[in-house]
Amino acid sequence: MTNGGGTPNLVFPAGCQTADLATDPTGATPMASNCGDYRNGFGPGIDNATGLVADPNKGANRYALTLGLDYAMTPNAMLKFEVRHDRATQNTFFDVGSSTFKKDNTLFGASTVVSF
């Protein structure tokens, strides 16, 4: 069983399988709402009013932008900064603060790399 490449090692629940393109060349055969989106691996959006999957037959398209900055503190130590912004066409990102799903997500990161 494949997962569309979006999430490694993900196994969908029993009864979930990829579309049979021989019987449905469009790949639009409906699946159960807990099966995810087998077409692009990112899954359907969530309706915040009901908390349910908005349309189990339509997966979200995802876009991402990552910017990074490296600063060499010494010849053997580097400080790295990164900001990443993800956006989707549906509410797929869970916001912990509001306990709702939203269409975008921003992440900041910093790390120190020491080589020896």
pLDDT in tens, 101-116: 899 999 999 999 999 8
pTM exceeding the 0.85 threshold for the entire prediction: no
Residue 58 is predicted with a pLDDT of: 77
**What pLDDT sits at residue 5?**
42
How many Cα atoms are found within 13 Å in the side-chain-facing hemisphere of 69? 7
45-87 pLDDT per residue, tens: 888 888 788 877 777 888 899 999 999 999 999 999 999 999 9
Alpha-carbon span 38 to 113, nearest angstrom: 37
Q: Are 69 and 81 in contact (CB under 8 A)?
A: yes
Distance CA 56, CA 108 (A): 31
CB 44 within 8 A of CB 55: yes
